[in-house]
Amino acid sequence: MRISRWMLIVAAFLLLCGACASKALDAGDVTAKIRSGEQLNYDNITVTGPLDLRNLEGPLRQPVRVINSRFLGPANFEGVTFGEPLDLRGTTFQENVSFAKVRFLGDAKFAGAHFLGQADFRDAVFDGLASFTSARFFNDTSFGNVQFDGDAIFLASNFARDVDFNFAQFIRLGYFQDAHFENVSFLETLFGGHVTFLNAQFRGNATFAATRFDSDVVFRGARFLSGSTFGLSSFGGLADFANVEFKKTAFFGGVKLADLAYFVNARFDKGLILEDARLYSMQLDNVTFGEGARINLNGADFTKFVVRWNAIKDRMVYNGAAYLALVKNYKSLEWFDDADDCYYQYRRIGQDMEPWGWAKISDIVSWVSCGYGVRVSYTAFCCLFTILLFGLIFWAGKGMNKFEIEGMELPGKPSLRPSKRVSLTDALYFSIAMFTTSQAPVNTYPVGFYRHLAMMEGILGWFFLGLFVVVLSGVLIR
């Protein structure tokens, strides 16, 4: 706001300096010439007094050219039809100006114009070119329900206060490259042709709610410094958001993207909401998220979502359907490690949220034994841990005996002499045999209670070895 006031002061100062050197013309004289059908062709004049053409009968048949000039009073062109080109390039309007319900049958040139008061273009129709290149709007502006049948050029235009394009229609090209906006609204706006906001800057709130982009749209390099919403918008062509910076949460809830949504190198400082969105293909390579930023995919339906799991794994808002959709997406991309990691986190979070019961206990067993079927290393670790644990138990508790066989005597002969205690190596060997085959070595046997432990280890061995084969097969087959 402070910057806007300074801009207004500077513009007023320049206006006064120019007025001193330009020719002064009363607004009544301008009105009389227009009504008489006389052609207006002025350069560097100052129009004093209010200009009111609201009651003008019929269209203006003559060209109107008033460039590099100044209108010191309010100007009202409401309802006027300009049958020939209108040229107001470099002209300054110090007070409010209204072009509401105006019909421009020829080109309308406002390039370099300055609007110090409110500018009203509501319900206007531009049949030809509408050029606002480098135009500056220092107060509230409205292009609500305007129809641009020709190209609409807002290159490097600057809106220092609120501006709305609500319900406007851009039939052909919409060009907003390098434009600067404070608060802007494109509620239910239609862009029928290509539109670009390349390197545009949105200092305040930017609303594109229910906006319809029938062709390609480019926001590459744009900066959204405050709130931004694209909720319920539809994109019929390429949506290029590469290198875009969102300082606040980017809301894309309920959007429909029929073609590629290109967000490569984009930055989301607060988060990205895609709740209930319908996405064909969204590319988020090298995307950056600020601290605490979250991604909401609840209810989203997407065919292709190109982003590495490591980039979003700590930012996902938990939703079972969204996680499973991502798993399916990663498998279709043949990013199997990302699919496994996504599924693992989905099951892990679900387990933590589940109340205690048999279902939770079953999930814990699945987690520890095989990492929910996607961690073959977990099963391998369980196998090794079981062998080592039972081996140490047999050794430390003296739970097995070993016979030293002399010659070829069979078990039960007096020549078989039991040793007092087996070694740790023999205990581990015994544990391996029980785990893999459920049969003890020929010269070793468990005693007492340890016979039951040996049987239990055999059962665990069959379970873990079977599980290992299943999990490993799932990893290798794909």
Higher pLDDT, 96 or 420: 96
Last residue of a domain, one of 305, 321, 351: 351
- What is the predicted pLDDT for the residue at 346? 93
pLDDT exceeds 50 at position 99: yes
- What is the predicted pLDDT for the residue at 268? 96
Cα(237)–Cα(177) distance, integer angstroms:
18
pLDDT exceeds 90 at position 272: yes
Last residue of a domain, one of 120, 140, 175: 175
> Looking at the structure, do residues 312 and 262 belong to the same domain, yes or no?
yes
> Looking at the structure, do residues 338 and 391 belong to the same domain, yes or no?
no
Higher pLDDT, 42 or 410: 42
Q: Which amino acid is at 454?
A: A
Residue 367 lies in a domain: no
pLDDT one-digit tens code per residue, 20-62:
456 888 988 888 888 888 888 999 999 999 999 887 777 888 8
> Looking at the structure, do residues 165 and 288 belong to the same domain, yes or no?
no
Residue 361 lies in a domain: no
> Looking at the structure, do residues 319 and 431 belong to the same domain, yes or no?
no
> Looking at the structure, do residues 127 and 111 belong to the same domain, yes or no?
yes
CB 257 within 8 A of CB 277: yes
pLDDT exceeds 50 at position 409: no
- What is the predicted pLDDT for the residue at 440? 74
> Looking at the structure, do residues 190 and 305 belong to the same domain, yes or no?
yes
Average of per-residue pLDDT across 305-312: 93
Angle (nearest 5°) at CA 379 between 373 and 382: 145
Cα(422)–Cα(402) distance, integer angstroms:
6
Residue 415 lies in a domain: yes
Last residue of a domain, one of 175, 191, 217: 175
- What is the predicted pLDDT for the residue at 478? 67
Q: Which residue range is the domain that position 135 belongs to?
A: 1-175
> Looking at the structure, do residues 222 and 150 belong to the same domain, yes or no?
no
> Looking at the structure, do residues 337 and 379 belong to the same domain, yes or no?
no
How many domains are contained in the chain?
3
> Looking at the structure, do residues 231 and 182 belong to the same domain, yes or no?
yes
Instruction: Give residue 3's pLDDT band: very low, low, confident or very high (50, 70, 90).
Output: very low
> Looking at the structure, do residues 324 and 422 belong to the same domain, yes or no?
no
pLDDT exceeds 70 at position 419: no
Average pLDDT of the chain, as a whole number: 88
Average of per-residue pLDDT across 143-156: 97
Instruction: Give residue 439's pLDDT band: very low, low, confident or very high (50, 70, 90).
Output: confident
Residue 366 lies in a domain: no
Residue 299 lies in a domain: yes
Cα(450)–Cα(239) distance, integer angstroms:
69
Average of per-residue pLDDT across 461-473: 86
Please state which of the ranges 72-81, 209-218, 346-355 shows the lowest mean pLDDT: 346-355
Residue 363 lies in a domain: no
Instruction: Give residue 400's pLDDT band: very low, low, confident or very high (50, 70, 90).
Output: confident
Residue 357 lies in a domain: no
Q: Which amino acid is at 289?
A: F
pLDDT one-digit tens code per residue, 118-149:
999 999 999 999 999 999 999 999 999 999 99
Biggest alpha carbon–alpha carbon distance for the chain: 138
pLDDT exceeds 60 at position 453: yes
- CATH at residue 382: 1.10.287
- What is the predicted pLDDT for the residue at 22? 65
Task: Tell me, letter by letter, the H, E, C secondary structure of 371-438.
Answer: HHHCCHHHHHHHHHHHHHHHHHHHHHCCCEEEEECCCCCCCCCCCCEECCCCCHHHHHHHHHHHHHHC
Instruction: Give residue 271's pLDDT band: very low, low, confident or very high (50, 70, 90).
Output: very high
- What is the predicted pLDDT for the residue at 5? 52
Burial class (CB in 10 A: 0-12, 13-18, 19+), 13: exposed
pLDDT exceeds 80 at position 164: yes
Cα(249)–Cα(318) distance, integer angstroms:
18
> Looking at the structure, do residues 105 and 185 belong to the same domain, yes or no?
no
Instruction: Give residue 328's pLDDT band: very low, low, confident or very high (50, 70, 90).
Output: very high
> Looking at the structure, do residues 200 and 154 belong to the same domain, yes or no?
no
Residue 365 lies in a domain: no
